[in-house]
Amino acid sequence: MNKIYLDNNSTTQLDPRILKKMIPFFSEKFGNSSSRTHSFGWEADAAIEQSRKEIAALINAEKSEIIFTSGATESNNIIILNHNSKDNHIITMSTEHKAVLDICKEVEKNNTHITYLNPKKDGLIKIDKITDNIHPKTTLVSIMHANNEIGVIQPIYEIGKICKSNNISFHVDGAQSLGKTNIDVKKMNIDFLSLSAHKIYGPKGIGCLYINKKHFHKLKPRFYGGSQERSLRPGTLPVPLIVGFGEACKILNKEQEKESNEILKKRKLLIQKIKTEIPDVIVNGDKVNRIPGNVNFSFPSLKGQSIINSMPSIAISGGSACTSSSPKPSHVLKNIGLNKQLINSAIRICIGRFNTYEHIEIAAETIIKTVKQKSSY
């Protein structure tokens, strides 16, 4: 039986166009970008700077504001740990990815104060909560743009305005939103933005941190051993991975709008088919303000993991891939107010670039059949 991959919030298939662009940098173009005395190094450095330019163009930044990291998790660490100081205050959300929440738990040990804001039932933050929790010691607001489990898109533009008017730094985890909804770091008043290539059909192991140029002097490296990336992230740069990241952004610069519209049509088809046959299914999260390919269903009275286990040919998940080995219920669904039964009955489906309408038809039919077999329909 052919397998269908519908877990694109977890990771994405490497686009063949991107792989083709990367391959030469694993072989004949193998130079170290820090080698300044010969053409091998110059060629590698030029490729890196072109990739930096492509990434910056996608988010309306300057290429000098892009620092390469291993991914959004490392980028999040750099920013939050740089705001780890006794009596500092950070505002974030209780539904953030563990890549933010776990760092926040760590800095609390150093008497950095963290406020975890709960969203509304639709998963979106109430803007007034940001304003109400700002006080003189607040140095950072860290809010993810799109939630990895329920796909809701937070009002980043409005939050950015609040931060700017209060002279507070604004960090956004954009791992799930890049390439799926527009990001403009200038219009959104974003000071720091964390990104990963593998969420946009690029390679794993590479990401970046956008840093507004006015903030560079405030940041210190988290480890030492070289002057790469303005000494903020030392170490030999993985040229093939960076080339892949740049190519992924170049493709999105041309294709994002068309691709997003097509994926949205497929999501609507999936929801329509399942709701027609399973009328009491619940779609978790705001129905409009969400990334195009994400849908999170709860099937009352059933267990989501049981549904997933019964469909080995359909690759979906019960939530975040980073916590899929944990027996704990989803903290995202818990913090939007779902009861234990609805949390345990949830499945996450994430449609991507390489999913066809046939994939959606087969997935819908398989889910409907499985749910009916396990319930009284």
Percent of the chain with pLDDT over 70: 97
pTM of the prediction? Answer: 0.95
**pLDDT above 90 for 229:** no
More confident residue, 228 or 150: 150
C-alpha to C-alpha distance for 101 and 331, rounded to whole angstroms: 11
Phi, psi (degrees; rounded to nearest 5) at 244 = -65, -40
pLDDT tens figures, 127-164:
999 999 999 999 999 999 999 999 999 999 999 999 99
Percent of the chain with pLDDT over 90: 89
CB neighbours of residue 248 within 10 Å:
30
Q: 């004949």: which residue's tokens?
A: 28
The reported pLDDT for the residue numbered 230 is 87
Q: 């749910």: which residue's tokens?
A: 371
The reported pLDDT for the residue numbered 296 is 98
**pLDDT above 80 for 116:** yes
Q: 């009275």: which residue's tokens?
A: 301
The reported pLDDT for the residue numbered 169 is 98
**Which of 138, 176, 179 minimizes the C-alpha distance to 159?**
138
pLDDT tier at 178 (50, 70, 90 boundaries)? very high
Mean pLDDT over residues 304-322, rounded? 87
**pLDDT above 70 for 327:** no
Point out which residues pair with 227 in neighbouring strands: none
**pLDDT above 90 for 104:** yes
C-alpha to C-alpha distance for 109 and 245, rounded to whole angstroms: 35
Q: Name every residue whose Cβ is closer than 8 Å to that of residue 21 and which is 6 or more positions away in sequence.
A: 243, 244, 247
**pLDDT above 70 for 323:** no
Phi, psi (degrees; rounded to nearest 5) at 156 = -65, -40
User: Any idea which of 17-21, 49-53, 316-320, 359-363 has the lowest mean pLDDT?
Assistant: 316-320
The reported pLDDT for the residue numbered 2 is 87
Mean pLDDT over residues 72-85, rounded? 95
pLDDT tier at 192 (50, 70, 90 boundaries)? very high
Positions marked active-site: 322
Average pLDDT value for the chain: 95
The reported pLDDT for the residue numbered 223 is 85
- The CA-atom distances, in angstroms, between 167 and each of 64, 113, 209 are 23, 18, 21
From edge to edge, which strands make up the β-sheet containing 138-144? 66-69, 207-211, 192-196, 169-173, 138-144, 89-93, 113-117
CA 243 from chain centre, in angstroms, equals 20
The reported pLDDT for the residue numbered 49 is 97
The reported pLDDT for the residue numbered 86 is 87
More confident residue, 92 or 223: 92
The reported pLDDT for the residue numbered 231 is 79
Pairing of strands 207-211, 346-350: unpaired
Q: Which domains does the chain have, with CATH numbers?
A: 4-12+256-374 (3.90.1150.10), 16-251 (3.40.640.10)
pLDDT tier at 14 (50, 70, 90 boundaries)? very high
Task: Record the tokens describing residue 36, joined without a space.
Answer: 């300044």
Mean pLDDT over residues 73-100, rounded? 95
Half-sphere exposure of residue 17, counting CA atoms within 13 Å on the CB side?
12
Mean pLDDT over residues 107-133, rounded? 96
The reported pLDDT for the residue numbered 128 is 96
**pLDDT above 60 for 321:** no
The reported pLDDT for the residue numbered 226 is 85
The reported pLDDT for the residue numbered 91 is 98
pLDDT tens figures, 197-212:
999 999 999 999 999 9
